[in-house]
Structure 1
Amino acid sequence: MELTILVGTLVLTLLIGLPLPMCLAGASLAALLAIGDLPLGMIPQRFVAGINSFAFMAIPFFLLVGQIMNEAGITRRIVAFSNALVGPMPGGLAQVNVVSSMFFGGISGSATADTASVGSIMIPAMKKEGYSGPFTVALTACSSTCGPIIPPSITLILYGIIAEVSITQLFLGGYVPGIMLGLGFMVMTYIISKRRNYPTYARPSLSELARTAVSAAWAVILPFLIIGGLLFGLFTVTEAAAVAVVYALFIGLFVYRDLKVTALPRILFQTAIRVGALMTVAAGALVFAWVLTILEVPQQVAEWIFAFSSDPIVILLLLNVLFLVIGMFMEAKAAMLILLPVILPILPEVGIDPIHFGVVVVFNLLVGLVTPPVGLCLNLAAKIGDVPLNQAAVAALPFIAVQLIVLFLITYIPGLVLWLPGLLG
């Protein structure tokens, strides 16, 4: 009865268009009223307690790093360096798009930030050189999904907080899948570009390659600075995020000098809006997850799954299908906050490693960023490129196929995820 009220209230409030945090908190309130013997004051208490975590502070800092780097002209330098590296390949500018997203994603940790920054440069440039609008938009949106899997990743940080596992090991586990995804996009881009005879760039001289590498080096080394500090125990993930902010300010103000002091209030304001939106969703979702725990939903889900199968291969398949479907209709972070507290207790009973599962879940939900009806990155890229969403969705199908192939490989070959954490962890 209580579970029906909880789910029914959530669906109803979502249908009438209330903000997601209000939907989650309202559904939790309705369920507590139905239970009857718990004080309603527990909701605001859990609302605050859910995000009262030191590790959560890393998320605002990394969001701020992305904003600073974007303002500091880093995107332009990364595109120039990527052009020197892969421009001579078939579909040169399209290859530059993919490599730029891999570099930029490793700095911002956000797919939407990658789509906005890289897309604003690459989409007009590619269309000007004769690339079709739907292909350009689809490639930009899909390649941006490398960002949340290549460290530092805001989504992996969130998983680490929920699952209470090492964020450093999650970061290390994301490298191989992220690089595999980027290389897969490059292969698909090569095939399409050869068929459509898209243009290539002349091979740069060594001096030009060196010049662009030096120009982009300050930004490119930031992810390695973060990972190195974590591996050697110099700082925690939250402290690493703060160090990254200081580093980004330094290169923006004193090295590249494209970042103006007068822009800092606007950057802080924009970051505060994004942080506020994310944290209210997180707080509401954690209250919702707490109510699910009270109603013993994780135990019921475990019983249902084990009644179907106890084979880890089958269970991983079921969970992948679940997250793929959910990702089509719900933003990745909200989906994780709601579903993971229900699913995580099952993992030890079937021998699924939480680090491996975390990377698989985050990778899985990235597909939802480019699949309608939500498809945040695809929608954003389509608006930048002024391309109808249905045309962009069709053009994205080959790249979604690449995502699904890599997802299958990392799901059933755990070593692809766990090798690097085992080597360096």
Structure 2
Amino acid sequence: MNLASPFSLSIVAITVLALNGLPVGHAMIAGSVLYLLLAGLDMGTVAEQFLNGMYSNYIILAVPLFILAAELMNIGSMTDRLMVFCNAFVGRFRGGLAQVNVLQSIIFAGMSGSAIADAAGSGKIMQNMMTADGKYPASYAAALTAATAVIGPIIPPSIPMIIYALVSDASIGYLFLAGVVPGLLMAGFQMLLVAIHSRTRNFPVEPPTPVRELPGITVRALPALLMPLVLLGGIYSGVTTPTEAAAVAAAYALIISVVLYRSVSFGDFYNSVLASARTTASIGMLIAGALVFNYVVTVENIPQSLSVVLQSWDLSPTGFLILVNIILLLLGCVLEGTTIILVILPVLIPTAQALGIDLVHFGVMCVVNIMLGLVTPPYGLLLFIMVHIAKVPLRDIVRDVLPFLYTMIASLIIITFFPETVLWLPRLFGYQG
């Protein structure tokens, strides 16, 4: 590569600006503008890519709606009722609160689609519950909360899968279905590890909930428990598109919290909308920057060139998937997940297609891999969130999260080498891939 070429200089500009604190989305826009200027191309292409990518793509609208739904759940009493429900069924075992942490993440995964929303909302509650009266070490509770939050973007709905669908043209509905078994697999490994830790570290046993109280607890939590059914039922029955289902989810969360539970004030609602807008703006700017930079990558013919190089290596589909996993695991240590999906995966997708790899399987594998970056040092965004919530040193959380990270890597290996773990459920619903 010519180090003085417009593309090389744009990469340098993006890297320098990002390292100096400019948000990655802004850095990609600036680097792309520099490329267009040096290459003598039309500068209006930047605005054109914004308009074509952001405003003509209906699917992107699902992202802010799912974010809003998660915020509305966290400000209402839906979270508290679901915690009581989970505790009633698994809290009675040794290490019960730790098992509750995993179970509540499975349920919340079917509502929010965001790991950060899970950690910042229900995760904060779990941290307080687990550390009350010194029941669990604060670092272990924080590590477990971070690890279980990873399940959120894998079990549908999933914001990362929506973004992957944007760059791959894969079906969102089938991607959502494909994430169910991998998400449950990861949760199963986590619950097994918690059971082992509970014995070896002598975690406490919570007082069992009387059986006579279970029906009442279930009834009080039922409106919240029905939310995933409303959301996914609308999609797979054909009544709503995924974007419309996201709007229904947000409206449902608002109605349940305000009308039925009566636990949300106008100030709470205003703050949740404001928080959702901030998160959406951050993600939107990242998507905008990636769209412009992807145009630069396309002009430079990078995906096709990389595809030719990889094919010259005569990689088998399995060999390619192993290589992709290694690349993504390394990138996940230093890059934010959305950036990887928007910038790196479009370069790899043509090779995956040329090797006959199913794009739904490939997408779920990549999303699972990238989500591991949320708990992988040194970047590990969920780790930093839990440092803020738990007020414990990062090194202590990293020490306790590593066993969970190893189990998630084991899940990734199964997902990679056994595609049917991903594709079985979509095929049950008519997927022909």
Match of 2:49 among 28, 46, 49: 46
Q: Distance in 2 between matches of 1:279 and 1:136?
A: 32
**1:261-340 paired onto structure 2 within 5 Å:** 261-340=266-345
Compute the displacement of 1:391 (Å).
Answer: 1.1
**1:1-400 paired onto structure 2 within 5 Å:** 1-36=5-40, 38-52=41-55, 53-128=57-132, 129-400=134-405
Segments of structure 2 that go 5 or more residues without pairing to the other structure are: none
Compute the displacement of 1:178 (Å).
Answer: 0.5
Query: Residue 309 of structure 1 contacts residue 315 of structure 1 at CA under 8 Å; is this kept in 2?
Result: no
Q: Distance in 2 between matches of 1:387 and 1:109?
A: 27
Find the residue that maps to 2:94 and give its secondary structure.
coil
Q: Distance in 1 between matches of 2:314 and 2:383?
A: 36
Compute the displacement of 1:83 (Å).
Answer: 0.5
Q: Distance in 1 between matches of 2:236 and 2:144?
A: 33
Query: What residue identity is the alignment partner of 1:78?
Result: L
Find the residue that maps to 1:235 and give its secondary structure.
coil
Q: Distance in 1 between matches of 2:313 and 2:91?
A: 51
Q: Distance in 1 between matches of 2:236 and 2:109?
A: 20
Structure 1 residues 2-45: Cα deviation after superposition (integer angstroms, max 9, x where no partner): 33122212111112221212210111112222322x21111122
CA RMSD of aligned residues (A): 1.3
Q: TM (normalized to structure 1)?
A: 0.97
Structure 1 residues 72-118: Cα deviation after superposition (integer angstroms, max 9, x where no partner): 11111111111011112221111111111111122111111111112
Q: Which moved more, 1:352-361 or 1:8-17?
A: 8-17
Q: Distance in 2 between matches of 1:182 and 1:93?
A: 15
Q: Distance in 2 between matches of 1:207 and 1:244?
A: 32
Query: Residue 89 of structure 1 contacts residue 200 of structure 1 at CA under 8 Å; is this kept in 2?
Result: yes
Compute the displacement of 1:240 (Å).
Answer: 0.6
Find the residue that maps to 1:201 and give its secondary structure.
coil
Compute the displacement of 1:204 (Å).
Answer: 2.3
Structure 1 residues 189-246: Cα deviation after superposition (integer angstroms, max 9, x where no partner): 1101100110112332222222222222111221121211111110111111111122
Moved over 6 A (4+): none
Q: Which moved more, 1:268-277 or 1:128-137?
A: 128-137
Compute the displacement of 1:64 (Å).
Answer: 0.6
Q: Distance in 2 between matches of 1:374 and 1:215?
A: 39
Structure 1 residues 334-371: Cα deviation after superposition (integer angstroms, max 9, x where no partner): 11011122111112210110001111111001111011
Aligned length: 424
Q: Distance in 1 between matches of 2:270 and 2:139?
A: 36
Query: Residue 235 of structure 2 contacts residue 245 of structure 2 at CA under 8 Å; is this kept in 1?
Result: yes
Find the residue that maps to 2:136 and give its secondary structure.
coil
Query: Residue 142 of structure 1 contacts residue 378 of structure 1 at CA under 8 Å; is this kept in 2?
Result: no
Find the residue that maps to 1:107 and give its secondary structure.
coil
Find the residue that maps to 2:251 and give its secondary structure.
helix
Compute the displacement of 1:260 (Å).
Answer: 2.0
Q: Distance in 2 between matches of 1:138 and 1:44?
A: 42
Compute the displacement of 1:418 (Å).
Answer: 0.3
Q: Distance in 1 between matches of 2:191 and 2:335?
A: 28
Query: Residue 74 of structure 2 contacts residue 122 of structure 2 at CA under 8 Å; is this kept in 1?
Result: no
Query: What residue identity is the alignment partner of 1:338?
Result: V
Q: Distance in 2 between matches of 1:2 and 1:326?
A: 24
Q: Distance in 1 between matches of 2:163 and 2:248?
A: 19
Query: What residue identity is the alignment partner of 2:373?
Result: G
Find the residue that maps to 1:146 and give its secondary structure.
coil
Q: Distance in 1 between matches of 2:31 and 2:124?
A: 39
Segments of structure 1 that go 5 or more residues without pairing to the other structure are: none
Q: Distance in 2 between matches of 1:232 and 1:222?
A: 15
Query: Residue 28 of structure 2 contacts residue 290 of structure 2 at CA under 8 Å; is this kept in 1?
Result: yes
Query: What residue identity is the alignment partner of 2:320?
Result: I
Find the residue that maps to 1:396 and give its secondary structure.
helix
Q: Distance in 2 between matches of 1:80 and 1:158?
A: 33
Compute the displacement of 1:377 (Å).
Answer: 0.9
Query: What residue identity is the alignment partner of 2:39?
Result: I
Q: Distance in 2 between matches of 1:388 and 1:70?
A: 26
Query: Residue 154 of structure 2 contacts residue 179 of structure 2 at CA under 8 Å; is this kept in 1?
Result: yes
Query: Residue 92 of structure 1 contacts residue 201 of structure 1 at CA under 8 Å; is this kept in 2?
Result: yes
Q: Distance in 2 between matches of 1:166 and 1:320?
A: 22
Find the residue that maps to 1:108 and give its secondary structure.
coil
